[in-house]
């Protein structure tokens, strides 16, 4: 099987604010995609430590062989070369025309214009590289520029976005807009009415305009219940949501270090600027990392962000984990939560982390209701519910320190309960940061051709004698329960200690499929 062709990659940056902010942005040749970092939060005291991350731009050059092409400017290079290599990175410099440093009459920034110019760049790069599509990588507002292209500009032209865009990866994009944690909506209405520095683009009225094609736009603005996060799959030229990955930041405090009182206004369940619930597209892939919106602890200039990006773009296997068949104790006074962590062998960071301390645990009863409403597998009364825990992407050709012939990752699962009395939390029998169930599932996906049926081994840490690093799969792969070729499905029973909480039938369902 030949290696799939590398597709060109286009980076789209976030909101710059007023003219002075725009002027500062345009002095950077790569609009921030070249920014690395040396700070990382580590340890229980949350003190910073030194960790050198070179930047996503340099890492894509070193790890994946991408080229950075310029001849005074990328535009000049494209104009002066008949062909360009497909493994190339391009920066969508949409803010240049709005900078006063180039002209005394800068153009007003409009998100639709930025999206139209992005299409011009995509078509040029595709034509000169011979690549069928490009990947889009975006930070913050840049993801909305990409969605404007995908959901409005291309459909209005009668073009299928899936024909020219391969995958879309967003860092901290306000897919649901930017909302505030207090003020009962007054601050949002004031922002949208005044439009300070163009910030009304993060309000529902303006988002409806640039995320809805003309042939579907109503005369009275967004209809009741309209959700800007949605990328509808039931309309003409719909872009597949499985090609979208949203990286969600959960650390508001470090954004405040550089941006004052932002987190106090937006709220603690955020990355300091974008609330957690607004940072993803429902139905798309997503990961939660304890990083802020930007700054020295930001999403883009982080190892966590890069590793999720790299595996989503270039991995060859997708592994999904879900909690199925469970039954929570019938206690109306108890709220049940799941915490999930995902670590990949050889990585010095956690790839995905949903915890109560970071304001983003999985609310199990809510998850059950949501899954049941969507009619997902396993939601019948006789079988219990299905709660997706995490999906990740692995690469058989990525370096694996301590390689044992498999791609290994660990799924850390904790189940916690909170008692309530008269609508208030009750702490009479509470043990802080102590879970009712706590164990780690160690999963080995064995290498092979991406099109072949995978083999998989999984064991709970509580059943591994000694250290995990010394654990070797015994060679007996788990049984594939799915007859469909190329798709592996299996169930892993939970340890017996979980039965009083989740029921005797609770298990982890693992699904492995080819990914490219």
* The 385-394 sheet, strands edge to edge: 385-394, 317-326, 507-514, 488-493
Q: What is the pLDDT of residue 48?
A: 87
Using pLDDT thresholds of 50, 70 and 90, give the confidence band for residue 407.
confident
Strand 165-171 and strand 244-249: the pairing is: parallel
Q: Assign 3-class secondary structure to 151-170.
A: HHHHHHCCCCHHHCEEEEEE
Q: What is the pLDDT of residue 473?
A: 83
Torsion angle defined by CA atoms of residues 253, 257, 260 and 263, in that order, rounded to the nearest 10 degrees:
-10
Domains (range + CATH), the chain: 9-314 (3.40.50.1820), 320-514 (no CATH)
Higher model confidence: residue 322 or residue 371? Answer: 322
Tokens matching residue 222: 């967004």
The 10s digit of each residue's pLDDT in 190-213 is 666 666 667 889 999 999 999 999
Q: Which of 277, 250, 287, 244 is nearest to 176 (CA)?
A: 277
3-class secondary structure, 63: helix
Judge whether 289 and 327 are in contact, CB under 8 Å: no
Q: What is the pLDDT of residue 86?
A: 97
Judge whether 458 and 409 are in contact, CB under 8 Å: no
The 10s digit of each residue's pLDDT in 99-134 is 999 878 899 999 999 999 999 999 999 999 999 999
Average pLDDT over residues 60-65: 97
Indicate if the pLDDT at residue 247 is higher than 90: yes
Judge whether 444 and 483 are in contact, CB under 8 Å: no
Q: What is the pLDDT of residue 437?
A: 95
Q: What is the pLDDT of residue 170?
A: 98
First to last CA, the chain: 13
Indicate if the pLDDT at residue 498 is higher than 70: yes
Average pLDDT over residues 456-469: 92
Q: What is the pLDDT of residue 423?
A: 66
Average pLDDT over residues 260-265: 65
Tokens matching residue 276: 């957690």
Judge whether 288 and 378 are in contact, CB under 8 Å: no
Judge whether 273 and 266 are in contact, CB under 8 Å: yes
Average pLDDT over residues 150-161: 98
Indicate if the pLDDT at residue 149 is higher than 90: yes
Q: What is the pLDDT of residue 188?
A: 62
Q: In angstroms, rounded to a whole number, what is the distance separating the alpha carbons of residues 507 and 516?
A: 28
Q: In angstroms, rounded to a whole number, what is the distance separating the alpha carbons of residues 485 and 314?
A: 22
Q: In angstroms, rounded to a whole number, what is the distance separating the alpha carbons of residues 223 and 195?
A: 22
Ranked by mean pLDDT, the top range of 180-184, 419-423, 446-450 is: 419-423
Q: What is the pLDDT of residue 197?
A: 64
Q: What is the pLDDT of residue 221?
A: 87
Q: pTM of whole model > 0.85?
A: yes
* H or E element in which residue 25 lies: helix 19-25
Strand 9-12 and strand 88-91: the pairing is: parallel
Length of the chain measured in residues = 516
Residue located via tokens 């592996």? 488
Average pLDDT, the chain: 88
């Amino acid at each position: 099987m030949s290696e799939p062709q590398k597709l060109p990659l286009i980076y789209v940056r976030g909101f710059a604010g007023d003219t002075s902010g725009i002027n500062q942005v345009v002095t950077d040749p790569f609009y921030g995609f070249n920014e690395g970092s040396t700070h990382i939060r580590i340890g229980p005291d949350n003190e910073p430590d030194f960790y050198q991350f070179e930047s996503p731009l340099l890492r894509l050059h070193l790890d994946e062989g991408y080229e950075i092409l310029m001849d005074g400017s990328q535009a000049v290079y494209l104009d002066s070369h008949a062909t360009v290599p497909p493994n190339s990175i391009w920066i969508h410099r949409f803010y240049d025309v709005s900078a006063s440093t180039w002209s005394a009459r800068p153009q007003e920034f409009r998100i639709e214009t930025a999206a139209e110019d992005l299409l011009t760049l995509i078509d040029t790069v595709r034509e000169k590289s011979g690549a069928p599509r490009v990947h889009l990588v975006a930070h913050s507002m840049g993801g909305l520029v990409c969605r404007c292209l995908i959901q409005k500009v291309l459909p209005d032209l009668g073009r299928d976005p899936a024909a020219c865009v391969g995958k879309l990866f967003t860092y901290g994009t306000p897919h649901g807009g930017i909302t505030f944690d207090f003020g009962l909506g007054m601050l949002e209405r004031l922002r949208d009415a005044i439009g300070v520095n163009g910030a009304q683009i993060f309000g529902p009225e303006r988002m409806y305009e640039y995320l809805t094609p003309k042939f579907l736009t109503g005369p009275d603005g967004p209809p009741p219940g309209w959700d800007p996060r949605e990328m509808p799959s039931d309309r003409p030229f719909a872009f597949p949501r499985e090609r979208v990955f949203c990286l969600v930041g959960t650390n508001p405090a470090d954004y405040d270090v550089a941006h004052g009182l932002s987190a106090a206004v937006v709220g603690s369940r955020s990355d300091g600027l974008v609330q957690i619930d607004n940072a993803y597209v429902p139905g798309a892939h997503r990961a939660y990392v304890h990083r802020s919106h930007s700054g020295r602890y930001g999403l883009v200039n982080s190892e966590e962000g890069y590793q999720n990006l790299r595996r989503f773009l270039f991995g060859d296997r997708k592994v999904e984990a879900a909690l199925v068949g469970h039954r929570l104790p019938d206690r109306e006074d108890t709220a049940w939560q799941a915490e999930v962590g995902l670590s990949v062998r050889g990585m010095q960071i956690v790839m995905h982390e949903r915890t109560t301390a970071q304001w983003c645990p999985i609310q199990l009863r809510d998850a059950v209701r949501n899954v049941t409403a969507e009619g997902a597998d396993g939601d019948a009364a006789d079988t219990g519910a299905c709660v997706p825990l995490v999906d990740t992407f692995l690469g058989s050709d990525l370096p694996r320190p301590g390689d044992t012939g498999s791609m290994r990752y660990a799924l850390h699962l904790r189940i916690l309960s909170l008692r309530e009395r008269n609508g208030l939390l009750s702490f009479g029998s509470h043990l802080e940061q102590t879970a009712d169930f706590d164990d780690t599932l160690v999963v080995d996906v064995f290498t092979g051709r991406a099109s072949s049926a995978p083999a998989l081994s999984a064991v709970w840490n509580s059943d591994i004698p000694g250290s995990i690093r010394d654990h070797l799969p015994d060679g007996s792969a788990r049984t594939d329960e799915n007859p469909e070729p190329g798709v592996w499905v299996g169930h892993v029973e939970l340890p017996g200690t979980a039965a009083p909480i989740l029921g005797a039938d609770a298990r982890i369902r693992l699904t492995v499929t080819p990914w490219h």
